[in-house]
């Protein structure tokens, strides 16, 4: 088969690659193409992000949850909340609601009830116990933080479930977003934090227990899900500009050579 036959048989493929481009332009296109694709990929990396937080996660009864701080108990400035468990005499790890509290077994959501003490004033403290002993109707507060740094605040949603025994309020950054009255501990109450109450960084969530009847160790439980889109890193934005400019330049050069 002669070269003329090849030319006649495949005229449309006389230029297999880089048609209309000079050697220098083809080389530039090959060099720039990976850079362009990488810049678009990184610059568009505002990916969805989801995380959860809650009370007593990953802990067992009697342990202290360092993510939650208790304040307002007489004789103590602040300390980590206790994870509560089933009732057992003489009151150690007391949960008088044993089975009546929502998610008391931790089977519905990844959260457990926490309280200001792992001892009930209705029982006898075990030997060596030096933790708080709560007087009747002690109002106290549970506090935790969650961080929204790196997320586009306008896309963030924070929602979840909470319950408390006896009654109390739920606040974020000083703004009350929910409240519960006595008797609501058997089922969860849903909540959604308004975007206007959120900060683009560390946020403070507080649960204020307004009453604790019969001097027993009542408690609270919370499970929250945070969703939002991440903010592209500054380096991604720096790459996006040159990458887009390079793409425009190559297209103009191709058009000019075709003309």
What pLDDT does 14 receive?
Answer: 45
What pLDDT does 224 receive?
Answer: 97
12 found inside a domain = no
Nearest to 121 by CA among 213, 216, 209: 216
39 found inside a domain = no
Q: Are 36 and 29 in contact (CB under 8 A)?
A: no
Alpha-helical regions (H) of the chain: 3-9, 23-43, 234-258
208 found inside a domain = yes
User: Could you tell me the pTM of the whole model?
Assistant: 0.71
Number of domains forming the structure of the chain: 1
Range of the domain at 154: 48-229
57 found inside a domain = yes
Run of H or E including 211: strand 202-211
What pLDDT does 102 receive?
Answer: 84
128 found inside a domain = yes
194 found inside a domain = yes
Using CA atoms, how far apart are residues 93 and 120, in angstroms rounded to an integer?
8
132 found inside a domain = yes
Give the chain's end-to-end CA distance (angstroms, integer).
Answer: 34
Run of H or E including 220: strand 219-229
What pLDDT does 100 receive?
Answer: 75
pLDDT in tens, the chain (259 residues): 444 444 444 444 444 444 555 655 555 556 556 655 655 555 555 578 999 999 999 988 878 999 999 998 878 889 999 888 765 544 444 444 556 788 876 677 889 989 888 765 555 666 666 677 776 666 789 999 999 999 999 999 999 999 998 789 999 999 999 999 887 788 889 999 999 999 999 999 999 988 655 545 678 999 999 999 998 765 444 555 565 565 566 566 666 666 6
Nearest to 145 by CA among 86, 226, 209: 226
What pLDDT does 86 receive?
Answer: 65
Q: Three-state SS across 119-150?
A: ECCCCCCCCCCCCCCCCCCCCEEEEEEEECCC
87 found inside a domain = yes
Q: Are 166 and 211 in contact (CB under 8 A)?
A: yes
What pLDDT does 117 receive?
Answer: 80
CATH number of domain containing 148: 2.60.120
40 Cβ partners below 8 Å, 6+ apart?
240, 243, 244
What pLDDT does 182 receive?
Answer: 80
């Amino acid at each position: 088969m002669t070269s003329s036959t090849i030319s006649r048989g495949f005229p449309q493929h006389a230029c297999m690659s880089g048609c209309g481009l000079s050697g220098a332009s083809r080389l530039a296109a090959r060099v720039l193409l990976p850079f362009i694709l990488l810049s678009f990929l990184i610059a568009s990396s505002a990916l969805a992000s989801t995380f959860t937080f809650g009370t007593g996660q990953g802990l067992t009864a009697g342990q202290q949850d360092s993510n939650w701080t208790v304040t307002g108990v007489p004789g103590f400035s602040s300390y980590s909340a206790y994870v509560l468990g089933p009732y057992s005499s003489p009151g150690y790890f007391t949960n008088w609601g044993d089975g009546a509290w929502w998610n008391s077994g931790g089977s519905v959501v990844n959260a457990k009830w926490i309280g200001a003490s792992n001892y009930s004033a209705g029982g006898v403290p075990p030997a060596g116990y030096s933790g708080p002993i709560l007087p009747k109707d002690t109002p106290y507060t549970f506090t935790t933080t969650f961080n929204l740094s790196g997320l586009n605040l306008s896309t963030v949603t924070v929602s979840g479930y909470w319950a408390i025994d006896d009654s109390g309020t739920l606040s974020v950054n000083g703004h009350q977003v929910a409240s519960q009255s006595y008797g609501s501990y058997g089922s969860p109450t849903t909540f959604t934090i308004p975007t206007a109450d959120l900060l683009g960084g560390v946020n403070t969530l507080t649960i204020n227990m307004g009453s604790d009847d019969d001097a027993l160790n009542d408690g609270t439980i919370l499970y929250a899900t945070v969703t939002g889109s991440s903010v592209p890193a500054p380096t991604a934005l720096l790459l996006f500009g040159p990458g887009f400019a390079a793409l425009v330049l190559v297209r103009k050069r191709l058009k000019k050579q075709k003309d």
